[in-house]
């Protein structure tokens, strides 16, 4: 049995972490969950375990062999060094250890660094945005060399915790009922809205999450990769998606890019004509589309009816409707619960490759990255 402590997690993250630890065969009889005063005393039930959250304070990590830190970094700042001095392996998914100089690791990218730590056994892992992006970049960088990355991150409420998810839910209900949002209660409209994250007024023009993502990619791959990131808040409860374009040192075509990505660790691409469900298995679209029947149902006056085989912008009228109804690219809803980074819409252009990424930010972006790093650390550092 390995005595493990989870520190700073919300109840949702703690539950998911326990599930993943149990799925990977860890004996959790000695598991402890520590949180701030707002969570202390709350019960966490997962994978057959019932754990009461303890209040995190100085001296509370005695006897712990592994400390997994999540959250905003407040408790990591308080307890990371204490846990390390007590002999624990520390794996920190908060910004604290990353900014304090701990090596940033991700098994898909640089697992070898874990065995090079020596006595200073503090590891940092990227935040959820960085995990999904780095996993997708790794096979392309190894084979063709990445010079530049431009990405738009579609940021869900779950990344920002229960309060943001509750606000999105309440706002959605009010607006669907035709009621307005009081500015003193909801200073920002999340529901039915898309907005870029606010950048501090320091002249740099990037938000905190955008800066973190840039720093994480540099730590994992080196400063030679330039990253331009825009984080956009979208009205989605859970899951993260990214639109990515990479400039490469050598040209690759779409077929090679797809092959490289398929061979990457922890990556899934849908087969042509198939979507991907949360397990990562392809599933065919439900039923074949009868073009004649579709046109008949649409009616003679429907703008998308294809009676005369007319074309608009080079496409038969009606094809775009089929695309909208049957997109192959998975979104956050389709990948919920998956442990993979799902990649789709791969297409090469002059000097680069564009693609779409979607993943479960709790399961893949936090829990699995922590536990996979822990498994390697237990083999290499004991």
Higher pLDDT pick, 140 / 277:
140
pLDDT at 367 over 80: yes
pLDDT at 249 over 90: yes
- Rounded Cα–Cα distance for residues 47 and 289 (Å): 42
Q: What DSSP state is assigned to residue 111? A: G
Question: Please, what are the domains in the chain?
Answer: 4-126+367-381 (3.40.50.720), 130-283+327-362 (3.30.360.10), 286-325 (no CATH)
- Rounded Cα–Cα distance for residues 47 and 371 (Å): 15
* Segment of 149-158, 182-191, 198-207, 321-330 carrying the highest mean pLDDT: 149-158
pLDDT above 90 covers what percent of the chain?
61
Q: What DSSP state is assigned to residue 42? A: -
Q: In this predicted structure, what is the pLDDT of residue 304?
A: 35
Q: In this predicted structure, what is the pLDDT of residue 325?
A: 53
Higher pLDDT pick, 53 / 313:
53
Q: Tell me if residue 364 falls in helix, strand or coil.
A: helix
Q: What is the mean pLDDT of residues 366-379?
A: 94
- Rounded Cα–Cα distance for residues 73 and 116 (Å): 25
Q: What is the pTM of this model?
A: 0.83
Mean pLDDT for the chain?
84
CB 13 within 8 A of CB 366: yes
Dihedral (Cα; 355, 229, 16, 44), 10-degree rounding:
-160
Q: For residue 47, is it left (φ>0), alpha (ψ between -120 and 50) or beta?
A: left
Higher pLDDT pick, 139 / 203:
139
Q: What is the mean pLDDT of residues 52-80?
A: 93
Higher pLDDT pick, 89 / 305:
89
Could you tell me the sign of the dihedral formed by the alpha carbons of 70, 71, 75, 81, in that order? Answer: positive
pLDDT, tens digit, 9 for 90 and up, residues 303-360: 433 444 455 555 554 555 545 555 678 999 999 999 999 999 999 988 899 999 999 9
Q: What is the mean pLDDT of residues 217-232?
A: 93
Q: In this predicted structure, what is the pLDDT of residue 311?
A: 53
Q: In this predicted structure, what is the pLDDT of residue 161?
A: 78
Give the bridge partners for 92, in sequence order.
69, 124
Dihedral (Cα; 16, 267, 271, 238), 10-degree rounding:
30
Q: For residue 147, is it left (φ>0), alpha (ψ between -120 and 50) or beta?
A: alpha
Q: What is the mean pLDDT of residues 26-44?
A: 90
- Rounded Cα–Cα distance for residues 76 and 84 (Å): 11
pLDDT at 199 over 70: yes
Q: In this predicted structure, what is the pLDDT of residue 55?
A: 92
């Amino acid at each position: 049995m390995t005595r493990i402590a989870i520190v700073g997690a919300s109840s949702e993250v703690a539950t998911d972490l326990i599930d993943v630890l149990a799925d990977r065969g860890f004996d959790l009889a000695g598991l402890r969950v520590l949180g701030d005063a707002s969570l202390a005393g709350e019960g966490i039930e997962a994978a057959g375990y019932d754990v009461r959250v303890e209040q995190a304070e100085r001296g509370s990590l005695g006897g712990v062999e592994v400390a997994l830190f999540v959250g905003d970094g407040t408790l990591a700042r308080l307890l990371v060094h204490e846990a390390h001095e007590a002999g624990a392996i520390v794996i920190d998914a908060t910004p604290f250890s990353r900014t304090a100089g701990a090596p940033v690791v991700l098994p898909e990218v640089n697992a070898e660094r874990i065995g090079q730590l020596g006595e200073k056994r503090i590891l940092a892992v990227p935040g959820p945005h960085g995990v999904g992006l780095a996993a997708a970049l790794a096979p392309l960088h190894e084979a063709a060399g990445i010079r530049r990355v431009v990405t738009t991150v579609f940021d869900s409420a779950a990344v920002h915790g229960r309060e943001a998810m509750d606000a999105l839910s309440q706002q959605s209900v009010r607006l669907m009922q035709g009621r307005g949002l009081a500015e003193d209660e909801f200073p920002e409209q999340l529901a039915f809205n898309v907005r870029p994250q606010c950048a501090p007024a320091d002249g740099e023009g990037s938000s905190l999450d955008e800066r973190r993502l840039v720093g994480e990619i540099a730590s994992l791959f080196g400063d030679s990769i330039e990253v331009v990131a825009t984080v956009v808040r979208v009205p989605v409860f859970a899951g993260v998606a990214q639109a990515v374009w990479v400039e490469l040192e050598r040209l690759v075509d779409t077929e090679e890019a797809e092959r490289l990505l398929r061979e990457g660790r922890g990556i899934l691409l849908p087969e042509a004509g198939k979507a991907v469900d949360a397990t990562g298995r392809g599933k065919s679209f439900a039923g074949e589309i009868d073009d004649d029947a579709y046109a008949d149902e649409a009616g003679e006056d429907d703008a998308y009816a294809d009676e005369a085989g007319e074309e608009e912008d080079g496409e038969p009228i009606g094809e775009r409707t089929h695309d909208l109804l049957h997109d192959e690219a998975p979104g956050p809803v389709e990948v919920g619960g998956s442990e993979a980074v799902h990649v789709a819409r791969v297409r090469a252009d002059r000097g680069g490759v564009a693609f779409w990424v979607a993943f479960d930010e709790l399961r893949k972006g936090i829990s699995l990255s922590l536990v996979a790093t822990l498994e390697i650390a237990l083999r290499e550092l004991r």
